[in-house]
Amino acid sequence: MRDAYLFRNPRVVDPASGRSDFADVLVAGGRVVEVGKGLEAGGARELDCSGLVLCPGLVDLHTHVREPGREDEETVETASAAGAIGGFTALCPMPNTEPPADSRAVVEMVWKRGREVGLVDLFPAGAVTRGREGRVLAPMGEMAASAAAVDFFTDDGSCVADAGVMRKALEYARGFGAVVGDHPQDPALAGSGQVNEGVVSTLLGLEPWPAEAEEVVVARDIALASLTGGRLHLQHLSTARSVELVAEAKARGLWVTAEVTPHHLCLTEEACLTLDPVYKVNPPLRGPEDVAALRRALASGTVDAIATDHAPHSREEKEVPFAEAPFGVAGLETALAALLTYLVEPGEVSLERVVEALTAGPARVRRLPGHGGPIAPGAPANLCLFDPSEIWVPEERHLASRSRNNPFLGRRLRGKVVHTLLRGRFTLRDGRLVG
């Protein structure tokens, strides 16, 4: 069989079907042909996958590709390559580009560039408001009807601070089944904050950023979702009260989903004591109690997705004094390994739950066709295979991203992606990119 592969004896972790056992997976013609034990190769090339985990290709709901406008920091091509290295087959570019993705022309340009590169599928988000200025709604209907078929809107990087505008966005998007995401950050409360308000901000003498700056917007947005019946997604939550509010909303039957990032799950505000700007992120790294609450919310299913919030910056911008540096960390290449190391290995969150939050969970939030599983006959062969036991230390040479502001560089991690396939074609094979 042409372009046919038999992945022999991996552990198949497929949350979309509830499967977590050892099986063979036969792929041909870009699709899954069969899943089961002792399959016949029938002319397919066999790959011994003993010791590997095979799961759906990872899905990132929150990626900054920086194109158009800041190609010095990242491009569709380099972000796609970084995604393939990290096991991702789908990325959702954020609209805070230059110009912003607040029109059919820009979202279609990003989508077409993704198709040209061909390493991952891109599902761009559109801006909620024109210019991401928070005042006038962007033409969401036009973006939804574009070739990019946008079904997710956010002013990410900025909160939709005007409650009336946010209400209108939820009502309008409801008409065509789209999701409205928000970057929950009250600008008046966050002010010029640099790090989480608490002991660390006091010790460093840096402007504090209170948890309440996030929580009051989370509470407001949930109230607006209740009022409008709109589909709300809360981005990069970082505090215990935020995920508690999400749990309460779900218990009430509201259509509210939420994401957390690997860095907020794995690191605490104490990393900022180094004054290394790589740890300066929006929202800021929080205290141990918040991190523990985020992990519990992930384990319980309160949190729907783990999203990288991959935010690349140039060396010249990031390698400056902490207070002068821009917010954001990169992390597509190391997301899975960080989660396996900090959450799965200690036994705080199961492997199956982490995989779900990287695959089926985010795919459900955006209803992404062909991604997130299940791994079943006829489904597109969008797959990730990783070695959960390989120990490695990420270095700059491992990165395809143009930026190096990755907080996990130099850290001992367990778990590494070996193969990534997009519709049955290797984009990463034996740890090497396939052009």
Distance CA 417, CA 53 (A): 9
Query: Smallest Cα–Cα separation from 154: which of 196, 185, 120, 187?
Result: 185
Q: Residue length, the chain?
A: 435
Distance CA 107, CA 95 (A): 8
Distance CA 43, CA 5 (A): 9
Contact at 8 Å (CB) between 135 and 160?
Answer: no
Task: Name 262's Cβ contacts closer than 8 Å, sequence gap at least 6.
Answer: 306, 308, 331, 334, 335, 338, 339
Task: Name 94's Cβ contacts closer than 8 Å, sequence gap at least 6.
Answer: 62, 63, 64, 65, 101, 125, 154, 156, 157
Residue type present at position 325: A
Backbone φ and ψ of 33, nearest 5°: -100, -45
Residue 378 CA neighbour count, 13 Å, CB half: 0
Among residues 24, 102, 121, 309, the one annotated as catalytic is: 309
Query: Smallest Cα–Cα separation from 47: which of 12, 87, 4?
Result: 4
Query: Smallest Cα–Cα separation from 160: which of 140, 190, 189, 180?
Result: 180
Please confirm, yes or no, whether 309 is among the known catalytic residues. Answer: yes
Q: In this structure, what token pair is assigned to residue 406?
A: 């990755």
Q: Indicate the Cα dihedral angle 66, 68, 70, 75, nearest 10°.
A: 60
Distance separating the N- and C-terminal Cα atoms of the chain: 22
Q: Which residues are catalytic?
A: 309
